[in-house]
Amino acid sequence: MTTYLNTSNGQSVGSDKTFASINPATGETLGNVPISSRQQVADAIAAARAAQPAWAARPDAERKALMMKVAEIIKANDAYLADWVTREQGKPLGGVGPDQVPGARFEVWGCEVWTQVPASLDMPMEVAFEDETRRDEVHRKPYGVIAAIAPWNWPLLIAIWQIIPSIRAGNTVVIKPSEYTSIGTLEMVRLISEALPKGVVNTVSGPGEVGSWLVSDPGINKVMFTGSARTGAKVAEAAAKNVVPVTLELGGNDAAIMLPDADPKAMAMGLFWGAFINMGQTCAAAKRLYVPESLFEPTVQALKELAQAMPMGNGLEEGMVMGPIQNKMQYDKVVDLVESAKAQGGNVVCGGTPRGGAGYFYPLTLVTGLKDGDRLVDEEQFGPVLPIIRYRDVEEAIASANRLDVGLGASVWSTDVEKAKQVASRIQAGTVWINQHGMIHPMVPFGGVKGSGYGVEFGLDGLKAVTQPQVISIKK
């Protein structure tokens, strides 16, 4: 069995201790992953610290060119990386490009695009104030060393979201992937590191404890975290002890609201993918759908037809659209929430019973008959289950969307965009999509409000988030 290695200071690094990475579709062991020691975490941070001044001092055009080279490496290895995403994370290979079934090839294509876009963005100096007595310039400076903690749902893409803006801005990075999906990330970093000076991007791997060593180290200057609220709070606490800022992307429980003038048939496909992209294991997926009485039956019917038509299986087989749930912890959570929905009076429209056999497969499940306060509505399922909730008037639906303590995304569906915008502006979420859900873009800032975290990623705002302002104030 191959042991995959970390990249630290440009070297491949193993460890005395390893653990096995498992294919969630088959249960087979894919390879071994090093459990980094505390010393190895410190070494990776030291390498990043040593590399950072020279990296930041490089002419901007050189950093840009090297990052375009990183995008080329991702493209040249797209089949290899997509294969790892499917085998380790579970999402089927799917198609390439924005209009295709969003599987592993889509994820790797996203890595390429989310590298090219920050590489092409500039952060010019801004003049904050100028008159005959003074001139005040705001320059953007890198933080130094960024610690990145990535989750298991979009393992390569989220790693890229953390790594690329950071290095574009002159920081260096130490990243720890989730223990559920380490190999793909270790391999991607090994490959892209060939284009970068040693120490610019480093990896460590292992369980959550390794992540806690990383984020609490005084050699770290900023933390980027994507994952659960519970772990996010621990990470923020550890970073606060060193007065280090954190970007927290903590998922949510996105509401999708259909307005009474929505068109269930025409919108069903958008709603379906908004909820079930990556088997629902997506931070900004629609996790509860509010539908007016008048549209309830046609909406449920249209979604049921789509849910039952999607082939589910081992994602390495071409034509598969849905894969397994990524890990046992998440699978158990989904089973538990569906069982609680049944006990709380929910009607299972389709799915609702584990498929059995090898792998963590759970059928696409629609549940009606629930109300706010029921567990499947209030708790983030992060899986292939969607509660569809009836509402009587729009005010009630807006109140439902806002009543939880999270606010990452939301969506409003209507044939009248102006009306939808009015509703959207009253929803407490970092992004409210109209007639689409979860449609992130590399130029558009993305982040949560309330318990979904703070700070933004993507676009110029995302780039600024990995820098700090320095004012140069000149007396005339």
36 near ligand NDP, rule: CB under 6 A: no
Provide the 3-class DSSP secondary structure of residue 469.
strand
Min. distance of Cβ 209 from ligand NDP in angstroms? Answer: 7
Give the helix/strand (H/E) hosting 471: strand 467-475
Nearer to ligand NDP, 292 or 442 (CB): 442
How many angstroms separate the Cα of 355 from the Cα of each of 324, 339, 359?
A: 10, 14, 9
Nearer to ligand NDP, 414 or 431 (CB): 431
Selected binder of ligand NDP within 333, 342, 426, 464 (CB under 6 A):
333
283 near ligand NDP, rule: CB under 6 A: yes
Selected binder of ligand NDP within 165, 170, 184, 227 (CB under 6 A):
227
Nearer to ligand NDP, 158 or 394 (CB): 158
Min. distance of Cβ 182 from ligand NDP in angstroms? Answer: 8
Gap between the Cα atoms of 64 and 417, Å rounded: 39
Q: Give the closest residue to 159 by CA, choosing from 457, 459, 449.
A: 457
Among 21-29, 167-175, 184-192, 229-237, the segment contacting ligand NDP (CB under 6 A): 229-237
235 near ligand NDP, rule: CB under 6 A: yes
Gap between the Cα atoms of 76 and 92, Å rounded: 20
Nearer to ligand NDP, 234 or 355 (CB): 234
DSSP string, 157-219: HHHHHHHHHHHHTT-EEEEE--GGGHHHHHHHHHHHGGGS-TTSEEE--SSHHHHHHHHH-TT
Selected binder of ligand NDP within 43, 179, 217, 254 (CB under 6 A):
179
| Torsion angle in degrees (nearest 10) through CA of 309, 312, 315, 317 | -70
Gap between the Cα atoms of 189 and 210, Å rounded: 18
Among 64-72, 108-116, 146-154, 387-395, the segment contacting ligand NDP (CB under 6 A): 146-154
239 near ligand NDP, rule: CB under 6 A: no
Gap between the Cα atoms of 75 and 168, Å rounded: 19
Tokens 């606060």, residue located: 240
Count of residues in contact with ligand NDP, rule CB under 6 A: 28
Among 248-256, 353-361, 424-432, 464-472, the segment contacting ligand NDP (CB under 6 A): 248-256
Instruction: List residues near ligand NDP by CB under 6 A.
Output: 149-153, 176, 178-180, 207-208, 211-212, 215, 226-228, 231, 234-235, 249-251, 283, 330, 333, 380, 382
